Structures are given as structure tokens and as C-alpha cells.
Structure 1
């Protein structure tokens, strides 16, 4: 049954982008503690004409030099209608200790004006085809975000980041 519905409706993979960044703090202290406070706006697009999406679970993790430092856990479940874009904020606030290994990379990126942060979003979803909910999918969304260095009084420029979606 599921295979027949899949063949008939041919659901397309969602698309995701980081559309805005609002940094306020991203610094490495002298004792190798990363202090961070920033918000990323992520848009997820459902490109399907005949398929709605139930997101049962969404969690996000930020990484710097492949070291996890921030976790946003458990967004409330929601339904995404056909051919719809949903934008939601991911707020990362906290401290990560013992990051001595990233000191050189941090200083280099600070001089360049951008910090390269990886964003990993894990989801659990189901498809809604007509009146039927089918399948259980766990797509993973990976985004490479260029977090601008905050300079005193300067305008923050941001480059929209396209994300990779796997396992749909």
C-alpha cells in the first residue's frame, strides 16, 4: 500500500536554508571557554503539490570544528501544508568548556570576519497523502553557516546558507 502511494504521488525531498543570523556573542575566553548567544532563522520548504508533512520531532545542534556546543531540543510537533515554507528560530545560548584545540582556528576566523559553524537538525516526520498518514522518516539536515564576527558598530552581513537534506 505504502509503495503504491509512493509511486503515485512521488514525494519530493524538503529543502532547507538558514535565512538569517542574529549574532550577539561568539567568543573564546582565555581559559578556552566558548561563550555564545545567537539566533539562526531556518526555513524548511515542502515543495510537494499533493503531500503534507507532519513533523513529530525536531532537534538542532550547533558544532564548531565538529565539536558540539549548543543544543536546541524538541520543537512542538506541527503540520506543514503542501507547497509551504515554514520559518523557525533556533536560539543558541550558553558556554562550552575545554575547547583549547580550536584556539588557532578561532583566531584565524576572527581575523577573516566569519566563524564557520555547522548546524545539524534531526527530524522525525510522516507524510500525509489525501487522508492517510504514511511512513516514518528521519531526515537529517546539515547546514554550513558563516556566522559574522561582531565588530563595534558595524553592519552585519549574512550570506544565506543552503542545507543538505539526507535520508528522506
Structure 2
């Protein structure tokens, strides 16, 4: 191998080694731990299903009010986090029964290391006198009716997509964690015209994937 090529190859290898050491040192200092999420509470009310006895090809409407308090914890020792966007939707048996009707509160915020923040999410799909519901397949509606009338709990899933920036001095790392929380809410009849409702204070950990 010519001497010039040897120097070029040696310089490239040295550059790779240096870059690797910089990344290792940076990671050791930065240490951006994954955020942790738990459901503090969930309040469900006015849950009603219409047209649930229709044929399997027909659609049905699900109306409800749901408020979820989600606690987000930053376990990092040195790293602060900027939450730039939070998008939430509710699912039942893998069927979407509505995105968050209002912006989360707070919708964006700054979180210091070793601190937690409670984010409130509201799903408002019920109106007095009807209307405001979410259209779902009648098979999904029938399953929901079964759960509400069984005397047990309604199983829902809260899906939250977050855009964050991990910040340590001049260093920034942008990530998009996905939070999934299982909600098992015991329900009972609220009244003849108001449907079903229930309250849960779970404290259950949610799964967080990056």
C-alpha cells in the first residue's frame, strides 16, 4: 500500500476512535434516562352507546366524558426535559374512540431533573340531548355494551405520543417516546339518561417506548 494511502487510512481510523470516545464520554455525562409515566386518576361519565344492535356492517356512536391525570417523571440525574408536544387518543379493543378533545394541560412545559409533572387530558364526547359521539363499528359497540352491563370494569387504553428534548448544557437530544396506559374503570349506572360512569385512582405504571 502506498505511503499516502496508509496515512489516509490511519487518519480515518484515528478519527473513528476519537469520535467513539467523544460519544462515550458524552453519553456518560448526559445519561438521558427514559421518562416514567403513571396514571394518577381517571374519571369516566356519561358513557352511552347507540345503535349497538345494528348489523355488523353498520356503525354505532359512543358518547362519553373522560378525564385522565397522567404523571410524567424525569428520572435523569443531570438532564432536563422540554416537552414540545403531547398528543393523546383513547382506544377500546384496538378501535380508536376519540383523540383528546381539548389540549392537554399543560400542553408544553419544561421539566427539571428528578421531578414529576401531572398532565390532564380531557375526552369530551357527550352533549346533553345527544350528539358529540364517536363513530365506531357495531361489533366494537356491542363489546363495549357487554362490559358496561357486566357489572365489572371497562377496559380502555390511553395512547400518548410525546415530542421531547433532553437538554444538558449545550447538548440537546430530540426523541419521540410513545406512552401506553391500560385503564380498567369500574362502572355503574349514573341515571336513566346519563349512561355509565366510574372513577379509578390506579397509580399503575404505563409502558414507555422510544
Map Cα deviations across residues 106-161 of structure 1 (whole Å, 9 max, x no partner): 133221421111111101111111x2241110000011111231334998454333
SS at match of 1:33: strand
The alignment yields a C-alpha RMSD, in angstroms, of: 2.3
- Aligned pair 1:127/2:205, yes or no? no
Q: Alignment length, in residue pairs?
A: 166
Q: In structure 1, how many angstroms separate the alpha carbons of the residues matched to 2:171 and 2:151? A: 48
Q: In structure 2, how many angstroms separate the alpha carbons of the residues matched to 1:150 and 1:128? A: 46
Unaligned runs of 5+ in 1: none
Aligned equivalent of 2:70, options 22, 34, 42:
42
* 1:1-168 equivalence runs, <5 A: 4-30=25-51, 32-72=60-100, 75=104, 76-94=107-125, 95-110=133-148, 111-129=150-168, 131-152=169-190, 156-167=199-210
SS at match of 1:103: helix
Q: What's the TM-score, normalizing by structure 1?
A: 0.87
Going from structure 1 to structure 2, the CA distance change for 1:143 and 1:157 (only over 3 Å counts) comes to closer
Q: In structure 1, how many angstroms separate the alpha carbons of the residues matched to 2:85 and 2:29? A: 27
Unaligned runs of 5+ in 2: 1-21, 53-59, 126-132, 192-196
Q: In structure 2, how many angstroms separate the alpha carbons of the residues matched to 1:29 and 1:81? A: 46
Using the TM superposition, name which of 153-162 and 30-39 deviates more: 153-162
Q: Contact between 2:43 and 2:67, CA under 8 Å: does it hold in 1?
A: yes
Greater fraction of residues in helix: 2
Greater fraction of residues in strand: 1
